[in-house]
Amino acid sequence: MTPKPYNISNGGEWYQHRLVKSKKNKLVNLPMPVSYFKTSTYSEDLQTYLNRKQNELDSVESIE
């Protein structure tokens, strides 16, 4: 059984983690949660968001 999504808030932005039920056994969750970075205007897969932020940091560091 999956609980409600878990949110970590920071002002107008938050990370959301949601457990996903197994299709074979509804009492078991899949091992990896689905995670998002969200604001009041959009939502993005958490891994995509983190990769984009890392690329932005790398490009700033390479300029310096």
pTM of the shown model: 0.53
Query: CB of 59 within 8 A of CB of 38?
Result: no
pLDDT tens for the 64 residues of the chain, in order: 446 666 667 777 787 888 888 888 878 887 877 887 888 788 888 889 899 999 999 888 777 6
Residue 10: Cβ within 10 Å count: 7
3-class DSSP state of 42: coil
Domain residue spans in the chain?
6-63
One-letter amino acid of 60: V
